[in-house]
Amino acid sequence: MATVGILYPGHSAEDDFAVLESHAHPTLRLPVAITTVGEDAHRVDALLDLGRTERLTDGVARLGPTRPDSMMWACTSGSFVFGRDGARRQADDVAAAAGVPASSTSIAFVDALQYLGIRRVAVAASYPEEVAAHFVAFLSGDGVDVVSAGSHGIVTAAEVGRLEPGTVTAMVRAADHPEADAVLVPDTAMHTLGFIDELESAIGKPVLTANQVTVWKGLALIGSVPPIPGLGRLFGAAR
């Protein structure tokens, strides 16, 4: 049994993980602890507050009884706004509090791209342009070439959580670029785990979503990642 503890800010798409747990690999557990949110806003100052160590370590304590093998801070914007070094310190703080390996969604995106051997990407961001620019900078700092970035100006996670699959698919199609080898969808507030194969079929290339790479990285911290049908090329790319 592999148990990946999920630290999730507020309420928007946390049920994505429960749905995946119910039909995925029979030995996968994804317990979720909801971390506190000061203001639900895709704005840099609010996101820096969202990712404070105190908020995360409180969630770590509540996940303790589930005995996780690894732990993930399942928030892209609440990690990349701290920059590369800050995001790694954030993950180290969670690992120290939890006593198990830990990472975050932002770091998971970079590691998943490296695993797949992909360097040129397009970004389909739900965030306002200012916040999306921080994600692009985070990726670029690790050598990822962002050839196109779309921004949809959605301010709250609650609104993102209500997006329908057809809307998400349209966002991915609109963001795709001929020179991109994959499209990234960076918001954990967005439901995606139920239709990643459909997203990839829509554009004919890998699509990496926030909740998908969060689960993948949590499993990678433990050991080998099992193939899970329906989760795209990332979960079928055995090495």
Question: For the chain, what percent of residues have pLDDT higher than 70?
Answer: 98
Could you tell me which residues come within 8 angstroms of residue 192 by beta carbon, excluding any fewer than 6 positions away? Answer: 13, 16, 168, 185, 199, 209, 210, 211, 212
pLDDT attached to residue 45: 93
The model's confidence at residue 239, banded by pLDDT at 50, 70 and 90, is very low
pLDDT tens, position by position, 51-106: 999 999 999 999 999 999 999 999 999 999 999 999 999 999 999 999 999 999 99
Q: Where are the domains of the chain?
A: 2-106+211-235, 109-209
What is the identity of the amino acid at 31? P
The model's confidence at residue 33, banded by pLDDT at 50, 70 and 90, is very high
Asked if the model's pLDDT at residue 41 lies above 60, the reply is yes
d(CA 220, CA 171): 28
Is the fold of 2-106+211-235 the same as that of 109-209? yes
CATH architecture of 2-106+211-235: 3-Layer(aba) Sandwich (3.40)
| Token reading at 9 | 């800010």
CATH architecture of 109-209: 3-Layer(aba) Sandwich (3.40)
pTM of the model: 0.95
**Torsion angle in degrees (nearest 10) through CA of 194, 197, 201, 205:** 120
d(CA 169, CA 118): 21
